[in-house]
Structure 1
Amino acid sequence: MKAFLFALLAAVLCVEPGHLLVCFTCEDASSNWACLTPVACDKGENHCVTTYFSTSVGSGSGQTISKGCASLCPNAGINLGIAAASVTCCDSFLCNISGASSVKASYTVMATGILASIIYILRVGV
């Protein structure tokens, strides 16, 4: 956590006056936890971008997340069942902290499943 705060402070201090956009950055990370490195965007890069790809074939699945700064905002998304991709943009300080909307939905489903399991265990008394 100390390293994250130090990197965040360094990114903020390196931003030139009048240009305050700082985004999280990573390339082809397997989870959002690996995408929490802040970077000061170059002049003309007015958007923070998050790109999310996922695949699920048989019992195997995988995902990659990339984040960074961009001059254009290509908001887009597609879901083909076995593969999905989305690109989301925002334009404020460190606004691309989360993964993709499908990642957040998965956390909700997972939390609901864990809660149901705990309630079941408490009722049955395992």
Structure 2
Amino acid sequence: MKASLLVVLVIALCTESAFSLTCFSCKDATSNIQCLSTTTCADHEKYCLTTYSTKGFGDDRQQSITKRCAAFCPTIDLNIGIAGVATNCCQTSLCNISGASSVKTSYTMIAVGVLASLACILRLGL
């Protein structure tokens, strides 16, 4: 009896697949509620990665959420006014249930771009 328990314990400790990371996964979802499917990560994938992107502004704003397993964690937080991308990584199973830090449309960046364009047009027109 003790020998069979020892064999079961050794098998359980040596089986890495029993301890694989599990992440929520989706591709180009428009809402976080569409990202409730799960996937078991490969042995080399140590992160659950969430990528959140936006484009447009106001009523024309569109968002996209992608969740997956990843071998490395890219740190991206980019906002260029009418488009942006942000990532979030974590290292425990099912830790990516929420979206990455959302990307807000920067109306200040849009205003600066419009003013810079207007200044160039006025300068070239003179």
* Same fold, TM-score > 0.5, yes or no: yes
SS for the counterpart of 2:63 is strand
2:30 corresponding residue in structure 1: 30
1:5-24 equivalence runs, <5 A: 16-17=17-18, 19-24=19-24
Give the % identical residues: 45
Gaps of 5+ in 1: 1-14, 106-126
Q: TM-score under structure 1 normalisation?
A: 0.65
* Structure 1 runs (4+) greater than 3 angstroms displaced: none
1:3-82 equivalence runs, <5 A: 16-17=17-18, 19-57=19-57, 59-82=59-82
CA shift at 1:59, angstroms? Answer: 3.5
Report if aligned partners of 2:52, 2:101 keep a CA contact under 8 Å in 1: no
Distance 2:101 2:34 in 1: 17
Q: TM-score under structure 2 normalisation?
A: 0.65
Count, aligned residues: 89
Gap change, CA 1:92 and 1:58, over 3 Å in 2? closer
Distance 1:89 1:102 in 2: 14
RMSD: 1.9
Distance 2:36 2:49 in 1: 13
CA shift at 1:86, angstroms? Answer: 0.7
Question: Can you list the C-alpha shifts for 1:32-59, whole angstroms capped at 9, x where unaligned?
Answer: 0001111110111000000111012464
SS for the counterpart of 1:85 is strand
Question: Can you list the C-alpha shifts for 1:52-95, whole angstroms capped at 9, x where unaligned?
Answer: 11012464110000000010110211011211101111100101
Report if aligned partners of 2:53, 2:83 keep a CA contact under 8 Å in 1: yes
SS for the counterpart of 1:48 is strand
Gap change, CA 1:58 and 1:32, over 3 Å in 2? closer
Q: Quick check: 55-64 or 82-91, which moved more?
A: 55-64
